[in-house]
Amino acid sequence: MAWHWVSDQGGDAAAEAGLGGEFGSQAEAEAWLGLYYEDLLEVGVTEVTLMDGDRVAHDPMSLLP
């Protein structure tokens, strides 16, 4: 399965910031979030959920400081 982040916030701007991209591992997905969470905050995303395919791998996580 592909790992990816989802959120109900941010709309198209969040997708343009990279939300929804697929990763080969949980570590890759988490590393990406560490690099780009500020970009997501700028477009209105304040919470994300890590998915492994259709399965929730990590409960919703706040991006707020």
Q: Residue 11: give the domain boundaries.
A: 3-62
pTM: 0.89
Assigned token pair, 15 = 């997708």
User: For all residues of the chain together, what is the average pLDDT?
Assistant: 93
Phi, psi of 35 (to 5 degrees): -85, -30
Q: What is the Cα Rg of the chain in Å?
A: 11
Which helix (H) or strand (E) element contains residue 33? helix 26-42
Number of domains in the chain: 1
Using pLDDT thresholds of 50, 70 and 90, give the confidence band for residue 30.
very high
Mean pLDDT along residues 15-38: 93
